[in-house]
Amino acid sequence: MTSRRAVIAGAACSCALAGVAHAERIHPAAMQALVGPGYRPVDADERGMWQDFAKLETEIASSNRLLGSPAMQRYTEGVIARLLGPRADEARVYLLHDPAFNAAMAPNGMMIVNTGLLARCRDEAQFATVLGHECAHYLRRHSLQRWRDRRTKTGIMAFVGATTGLVAGVAAAAGAYPRTWIDVANAINGALVLSIMHFTRAQEAEADAYGVRLIEEAGYPPGAAAAMWQQVIEERRASARARGKRYRDAARSAMSSHPPNQERMLDLSASARELEAASVPPRRYDGGRDAWRDAVAPLRAALLDEQIKMNDPGVSLYLVHALARDGWDGTLRYCEGEAYRLRDEPGDAARAAAAYASAVASDDAPPEAWRAHGYALVKAGDAEGGRTSLARYLERKPGAADAAMIRGALAP
C-alpha cells in the first residue's frame, strides 16, 4: 500500500496550488497563439498525447451523458467560432450532462462543456469567458508542457496511478474533475490523460489573460470574465455557509483546476480595463443576454433540476437567486421552492410553499410546480385548493409517471 500513499501524496502536491505566490500579472497583449489553423503534432511526444486524447474522445463521443441538443450544440459552436476564428475548424464540441461547473479543451481540439456551466451563465459573455479561458489553454499548448512535466518529474508515480485507477480516485476525492469525466477516463484507463489537464498556476494566469483578450476581440465586454469568476467564488461561499463550513479561497473544489481567488479577480479586472483602453476607437461590446436566454430557455428547467438533485441547497439557492437577478419566472420560483424543501431548515416549508404559489402564478410554471403547490396546500389544510392544483398538474402532464397514482387519490 506504500504505492497508494505515494500516489496520493504526489497528486495532492500537484493539486494544492493555493499556496503558490502571486506572480506578476500577464498582459493580454503579450499572449500569442502557438497553434494555428490545421495544426498537427510536431514530434513523437505530442503525437503520443494526441493519440491518448483521441481514445478519450472516442469514449466521450459515444457516451450516454451527451446532452443531445442540436440547437445548443450549434449555438456553442457559434460562440467558439467567434472566439477562435478560422482555428475553430479544429474544435469539436461535446455537451455533457454533468452538474459540475466545468469545461475543457484538449490539445487535439476536443472540447467538453458541462451542463453545469450552461446552468450558471447569465449571458453569452459569461459562457464565452469560460470557453475563451479553455481555448487559451489550447492555443498556448499548455497540455503538452504538463505532459512532458509529468513524464519527467512524476512519470513513475503517474504510471502506477494510471494503471491502478488511483489517480482517478485521488482526483475525484480532491474534487479536481467532474464525476462524469472520471467515469469516462476510468473506462479507458485515461486518468493520466486527464491529470495533465490540471494546469499550473502560471498556466492559469496565461489562460486568464489570453482568455480575456479572446472575448474582447470577439466583441464581448471584457469585464464579463471577472464577473463570472466572482459569481463562482460567491457560489462557493454560499455552499460553505450552508454546510456550516468556512470558505477556503482557491481550495480544492469542483473547479480546482481553475482556482478562483481575489487576486485573480483583480488581475482579470485590470486586464479588462487595459484592453478597453487600448481599443481605439472604443469597441461596442454586447454581452448577448437575449441570445443566451433564448438559447438556454428550452433547457433551463432540466439544467436546474440536475443541480437541485445534487442536494446541495446552498448552491441551488445561490444559483436560483443569481439567475433571478435578470427577472423571476415560473421555473426559477419552482426551483427555489424545491431548494427550500430539500434544505428543510426551520421556516423552509413555509418558504417553499410561498415559492410554489408564486411559481403557479406565472404563465410559464413547469407542470411540477402545480403538483408541489398542490401538496403544499394539502399539508397546510387546504384540501380543496390542493385537489384543484393537483388536477392542474394532471392537465399539464397527463402522461406523468405519477399520474395514475394522483388520479386515484383525487377520485371521489
The grid coordinates of residue 180 equal 462524469
Nearer to Zn ion (CB atom), residue 137 or residue 373:
137
Structural element, H or E, at residue 104 = strand 103-105
Nearer to Zn ion (CB atom), residue 46 or residue 204:
204
- Determine the 3-state secondary structure of 208 from DSSP: helix
Q: Which residue is nearest to Zn ion (CB)?
A: 258
Interface of this chain with Zn ion, residues 186 to 205, rule: CB under 5 A = 204
**Region binding Zn ion by CB under 5 A among candidate stretches 42-50, 140-148, 251-259, 308-316:** 251-259
Query: Between β-strands 103-105 and 92-96, what pairing exists: parallel, antiparallel or unpaired?
Result: unpaired
Whole-number Å distance between alpha carbons of 133 and 13: 24
Nearer to Zn ion (CB atom), residue 144 or residue 317:
144
| Minimum distance from residue 390 beta carbon to Zn ion (Å) | 48
| Minimum distance from residue 114 beta carbon to Zn ion (Å) | 14
Ordered alpha helix ranges (H), 246-288: 262-278
**Region binding Zn ion by CB under 5 A among candidate stretches 44-52, 153-161, 207-215, 282-290:** 207-215
DSSP bridge partners of 112 = 94, 104
| Minimum distance from residue 273 beta carbon to Zn ion (Å) | 22
Nearer to Zn ion (CB atom), residue 7 or residue 207:
207
From the CB of residue 225, how many other CB atoms can be counted at a distance below 10 Å?
Answer: 32
Select the residue interacting with Zn ion from 65, 120, 140, 258 (CB under 5 A). 258
Identify the CA nearest to 387 among candidates 410, 412, 362: 410
Work out whether 146 is an interface residue with Zn ion (CB under 5 A).
no
Query: Residues with Cβ < 8 Å from 367, sequence gap 6 or more?
Result: 393, 396, 397, 400
From the CB of residue 366, how many other CB atoms can be counted at a distance below 10 Å?
Answer: 25
Work out whether 225 is an interface residue with Zn ion (CB under 5 A).
no
Work out whether 176 is an interface residue with Zn ion (CB under 5 A).
no
Nearer to Zn ion (CB atom), residue 168 or residue 207:
207
Nearer to Zn ion (CB atom), residue 253 or residue 331:
253
| Minimum distance from residue 251 beta carbon to Zn ion (Å) | 16
| Minimum distance from residue 395 beta carbon to Zn ion (Å) | 48
Nearer to Zn ion (CB atom), residue 25 or residue 396:
25
**How far does CA 333 lie from the centroid of its chain?**
22
Total number of residues binding Zn ion (CB under 5 A)? Answer: 3
The grid coordinates of residue 303 equal 439544467
Work out whether 207 is an interface residue with Zn ion (CB under 5 A).
yes
Identify the CA nearest to 402 among candidates 367, 356, 378: 367
Quote the strand ranges of 23-138, DSSP E.
92-96, 103-105, 110-114
Whole-number Å distance between alpha carbons of 309 and 173: 20
| Minimum distance from residue 106 beta carbon to Zn ion (Å) | 13
Question: Contact residues for Zn ion (CB under 5 A)?
Answer: 204, 207, 258
